[in-house]
Structure 1
Amino acid sequence: MTIDTILLAVGPMDTVRAEELADTALEIAEPLGATVVIGHAFTEDEYEDIHDDLGLEARAADVDPDAVAARRAPVGDLVEIFTDAGVDYEVRGALGEVSSEVVDMAIDVDADRMIVGGRRRSPAEKAVLGSVSQEIILQAPCPVTYFRDLDVME
């Protein structure tokens, strides 16, 4: 099986580890000439909370998710890293329930691999709050590299 497309799914909490996530994607993409899709999904509530900060006037129903994703952290940092490395990339955004939107994005771009960041949570926290990364891993249409940073959100 060849690897042509890698979906790097990120969220705003990944800002602190953007370089490490990019390095993980580059380890695969560079030698294979694969394209990295930087994917950022967000809920309507998240969009409504940040749209003023991004200088956007559109309400959630009228927004272009790709344009919003391109303006959210850590996407800009990742774009810079992939540009400097000479790796093909594209930015995709999605508005809705994050885990299902990321899985749908992987299907839409025909991802051969996914890279997903997560954070350390106790079993009780997972039971109460759920785990977006766990849902993505369980529903993914391709193999997933799970990047856990123990320092994020402690």
Structure 2
Amino acid sequence: MQDVLAVTTVVVVGMLVGVEFAVSAFVNPIFDRLPTESGIAARSDGARVLGRVMPFWYIGSVVLGAVWTALAWGGEGAAQAAAATGLLLVSVVMSVLLLVPIASRSATWSSTAPPADWKEQSKRWDRYHVVRVGVIVLAFALFAVALALA
């Protein structure tokens, strides 16, 4: 049971890292190269679509990590799983406090009448997102180490 949970957690968090890395490294830079109206529409649509999915993915990852940590407590890899879960919790707090407010606003942007500071808001979101990606990459690496030790 614990092995299945560990592998599931690594796979789920690994896919989360992949999606978030792709947004940071490829998707948003592509959106930024589109004509202004198209770029705003793309970011707005991305915020709406991912805004519906990502909360479940992040919270689900934290729950998987917490259950794995509880089951492994006192055993090999438990400390790494606990640290990884803590980092995922940090990423959730970062999301709620820093990223979600900007994403919620951008989800309502109209390409014909964007706010005057839409570029600054997008750049701020991108900077916060890069930090969050770093946090979840580290969490993923710790989960992988925990799986190898288990």
Q: What's the TM-score bracket when you normalise by the shorter of the two chains?
A: under 0.3
Greater share of residues in helix: 2
Greater relative contact order (Cα 8 A, min sep 6): structure 1 or 2? Answer: 2
Greater share of residues in strand: 1
Larger Rg: 2
TM-score (normalizing by structure 1):
0.24
